[in-house]
Amino acid sequence: MSGGSNTYLDQVVAQQAELEGDLRGRRSRGAPPAPGAAPPPQGPLAKRDRALGGGGGDAGDRAPHGPVDVRISGFWRWKNVLVPPNAFVVHTRRGREDPLHIGLGVSFRFNPATDAFLVVPGATQTILINAYCICRELQGVLVQGYVQWIIQDFSIAYRKLDFGDADDPMRLVNLQLKEQAEAAIKDKVSTMGVRDVLSDKQPIIEELTARLRAVAEGEESGDEGLGLRIVTVQIKEAVVSSSRLWENLQKPYRSEQGQIARLAELQAEEAIAQREMAADRLKQTQRLEHERELAELRSRNEAQRFDTETAERLRRARREHDDRREVAELETETTRHALRMERERHGEEAETGRLRVQREQELKRLEADGELALARARAQAGHDEELLALERERARSSVANDRTPAGIQSELIASLPAILERLPKPDELRTVTIGGADQTTVAGLLDQLAAVAGALRAAADAEPPQRA
């Protein structure tokens, strides 16, 4: 708040003017047309058509009821109003005191000349609240919250509330409830301190809920209220309007927290310093111990190295002596081994000569036995071949004896081409006719073949011999 103006007063005046404009909004939309505009058509049907949206009465028209999707079908006086299932409707008729239809999602027949209806959304409504309040310490506080309400009894609500705004039937009701809620919040905040408002919002919620329910749902004494039901009331946030006051309110806590943080830093630094000194002392002690251990280890290493070098020289001297002795012994053993090998070689040569003579005698004996066995085998093979030849001859004789005349005839016929190929080619052809023989029998066939053979032989004998 500056020295020449009252900011809070300016906000209150602006809100009041905005509220008055909102409340006059519906009446201004119903004002007469401007001069020069075409006058609307007269008559009850024309008025009804204008109320229903200015249509010509075609089936499927929609009434301009804002968020509620109402469909009007039919023609002239015989129309049907189809209401969505989530919207309240009241249907009245001229000359009737009580509504014809009232309820949630009720559709009905409609006569534009005598009937009227009102459709209101049945969904839950939410009102956002920004209340600029003055607390007990005369400081500005902005309280933000919201209220959710719903129509509980539409038969009461449509009589007591104004749902006549075609664009938003709930606008005026929300404005009225919002003003009542802001008034209740301001009354409650005016009796509370700034810290109470910022720290505990439950008293504000309880006061606001009680007042709104008394107005919307009625008193316990029997007042029926407005036919509404308050679903929930919540305070989202409370903010101090003055930034300097807000900083001053936070300074004690911030100072306390800064003090606690500084003390914690000092304690941490002290603990860290003590730990660093202890760690440094431990490091120095460990370094000294390490240096002492290194010195002792160096001295032990030098003594051990001297002992090792002395022992190594003594070992090498002993090893050289042992090596010379081993070399002498090795040479003696080598000489002995050479003599032993020479004796063994002479023994092996004698044994080899004896075995060679024995092998030659054995080979001679085996050769004599082999020749005798070979002769026996040959004789046996010849005997077996003779027996096999006899057996074959016997088999041939048996086959020849067992042949039938038909078989002999077939063999002879099969051998005729070969016989003809071997015969000399005749210079002239002579035909011999053999008669009187029965060609159906074997004997007749043989006689014919014999005659043919004789004729061929005679032709061959009569042919003059060829010169060499």
Most confident of the following: 3-17, 36-50, 344-358? 344-358
Residues 190 and 98 in one domain: no
Give pLDDT, residue 22. Answer: 62
| Burial of residue 129, with CB atoms counted within 10 A of its CB: 0-12 exposed, 13-18 middle, 19 or more buried | buried
Q: Which of 123, 61, 115, 60 is nearest to 88 (CA)?
A: 123
Q: Is 422 helix (H, G, I), strand (E, B) or coil?
A: helix
At 280, the amino acid letter reads: D
- Per-residue pLDDT, averaged over 38-49, amounts to 40
Residue 428: inside a domain, yes or no?
no
Give pLDDT, residue 56. Answer: 39
Assess whether pLDDT exceeds 80 at residue 439: no
C-alpha span between 219 and 199 (Å, rounded): 31
Assess whether pLDDT exceeds 60 at residue 148: yes
CA within 13 Å, CB half, 363: 6
In terms of residue numbers, what domain contains 130?
Answer: 124-241
- Crossing angle, helix 442-462 and helix 405-422, to 10 degrees? 20
Each residue of 24-50: b (16+ CB within 10 Å) or e?
A: eebeeeeeeeeeeeeeeeeeeeeebbe
Residues 131 and 52 in one domain: no
C-alpha span between 441 and 291 (Å, rounded): 140
Assess whether pLDDT exceeds 60 at residue 154: yes
- Confidence class for position 208, pLDDT limits 50, 70, 90: confident
Assess whether pLDDT exceeds 80 at residue 320: yes
Residue 287: inside a domain, yes or no?
no
Residues 78 and 128 in one domain: no
Residues 49 and 115 in one domain: yes
Work out the percent of the chain whose per-residue pLDDT is above 90: 3
- Confidence class for position 362, pLDDT limits 50, 70, 90: confident
Question: What's the CATH code of the domain at 228?
Answer: 3.30.479.30
Task: Report CA torsion sign: 103, 105, 109, 114.
Answer: positive
Host H or E run for residue 12: helix 7-29
| Burial of residue 322, with CB atoms counted within 10 A of its CB: 0-12 exposed, 13-18 middle, 19 or more buried | exposed
Task: Report CA torsion sign: 246, 250, 252, 254.
Answer: negative
Assess whether pLDDT exceeds 80 at residue 332: yes
The residue out of 190, 218, 241 marking a domain boundary is: 241
Residue 257: inside a domain, yes or no?
no
Assess whether pLDDT exceeds 60 at residue 170: yes
Return the minimum-mean-pLDDT range out of 260-264, 301-305, 341-345, 442-446: 442-446
Return the minimum-mean-pLDDT range out of 192-206, 257-271, 294-308, 390-404: 390-404
Residues 156 and 190 in one domain: yes
At 88, the amino acid letter reads: F
C-alpha span between 15 and 18 (Å, rounded): 5
pLDDT digits over 87-114, tens only? Answer: 899 999 988 888 888 888 888 888 888 8
C-alpha angle 190/193/196, rounded to 5°? Answer: 115
- Per-residue pLDDT, averaged over 284-300, amounts to 90
Residues 153 and 215 in one domain: yes
Helices (H), 153-242: 154-160, 171-189, 194-199, 202-216
Work out the percent of the chain whose per-residue pLDDT is above 70: 73
The residue out of 122, 146, 164 marking a domain boundary is: 122
Residue 425: inside a domain, yes or no?
no
Residues 158 and 229 in one domain: yes
- Per-residue pLDDT, averaged over 3-13, amounts to 56
C-alpha span between 191 and 206 (Å, rounded): 14
Q: What region does 34 belong to: left with phi over 0, alpha with psi -120 to 50, or beta?
A: beta
Give pLDDT, residue 404. Answer: 67
Q: Which of 101, 110, 99 is nearest to 77 (CA)?
A: 110
- Per-residue pLDDT, averaged over 223-248, amounts to 79
Residue 225: inside a domain, yes or no?
yes
Q: Is the pTM of this model over 0.75?
A: no
> What are the CA-CA distances from residue 145 to residues 208, 239, 387 (Å)?
10, 12, 136
- Confidence class for position 192, pLDDT limits 50, 70, 90: confident
Give pLDDT, residue 29. Answer: 47
- Per-residue pLDDT, averaged over 425-432, amounts to 59
- Per-residue pLDDT, averaged over 103-130, amounts to 88
Q: How many domains, the chain?
A: 2
Residues 231 and 131 in one domain: yes
Q: Yes or no: say if 49 and 58 are a contact pair by the CB < 8 Å rule.
A: no
The residue out of 102, 122, 142 marking a domain boundary is: 122
Mean pLDDT taken over the chain? 77
Give pLDDT, residue 277. Answer: 92
